[in-house]
Amino acid sequence: MLESLVTLKELYERPWLAFIWATILCSVAIIVSAQVSYYMRISGASLAGIFAVIFTLIPSVYFATMLIKKEEILEEFYVKKHYKKRFWERHKKDILIFLFFFAGITLTFAVWTMVLPQDFFHVQLVTICGMRDMPVCHTLGITGAVAQAQFTNFMMYLTNNLNVLLFAFIFSFIFGAGAMFIIIWNASILGVVIGYISRALWEIPGASLGFLPHGIPEIAGYICAGLAGGLISAAVLRRVDRVTVRIVVFDALKVLVLGIALIILGAGIEAFL
């Protein structure tokens, strides 16, 4: 039912609806995960964080698959009609929809982090504390990150983010909408960080500002990688002629290169600014 709250047509006409849909979807997923994780814990640690990601992912995959299939059909149509359209004109709606979706997931995790028990998103906190030192890490006995030089940080961020981009591309190629897991997981990480930094709901926008300069290009890079992998996967599965497949693949690789450039930009901003 949740995947049918909005249609693809409505999202293309009003991409911001993806933000509202994501907050509803994610809130339901977190509530359900709270009940499931109550009965399933490992060494006393809560698994609610990963369940929240999974339950958000399940209805999202259908939406993402339909979006990617429609995009591939349009690509095929443009190729057959020899219709030239600039990159941003062809893909702007898809990227905007995914960005609004990411923002909605991030905000939802941030709000719920402030409401739920401190260790509820334990899985996310383990990942966060491996990247940065926060007071909550010491409270929960999780080892915090160690300060490093700017260039070392840049290489660490770049290597890590390029690995994530590669996984987003491969997952999307293999599963069609596999990159949705990468998007939702990273949104949960960012949301939990913002939730712990903010002491009240009205502080969330201010706490988010510090992450926007590098966060937007990074997430846009992952989205580009997922879109590129999905386009190639859809073209192969539709078994269109070789000429069309070659053109679609070339166009998808351009999207992937843009994603890599955005990842480099994001890592540079995060390390040096």
- Residue spans per domain, the chain: 2-272
What is the Cα–Cα distance from 142 to 197, expressed in whole angstroms? 17
23, 108 Cβ separation under 8 angstroms: yes
The larger pLDDT score, comparing residue 243 to residue 27, is at 27
pLDDT of residue 42: 57
CA atoms within 13 A on the CB side of 117: 12
The model's pTM: 0.83
What is the Cα–Cα distance from 190 to 169, expressed in whole angstroms? 21
User: Using 50, 70 and 90 to split pLDDT, how confident is the model at 268?
Assistant: confident
pLDDT of residue 253: 87
What is the Cα–Cα distance from 60 to 132, expressed in whole angstroms? 29
Instruction: State the average pLDDT for the chain.
Output: 79
User: Using 50, 70 and 90 to split pLDDT, how confident is the model at 106?
Assistant: very high
Tell me if residue 9 falls in helix, strand or coil.
helix
Query: What average pLDDT does range 221-239 have in this prediction?
Result: 79
* pLDDT of 128 above 80: no
Q: How many CB atoms lie within 10 A of CB 258?
A: 20
* pLDDT of 65 above 80: no
Query: What average pLDDT does range 187-207 have in this prediction?
Result: 85
pLDDT of residue 250: 81
What is the Cα–Cα distance from 26 to 106, expressed in whole angstroms? 9
* pLDDT of 235 above 90: no
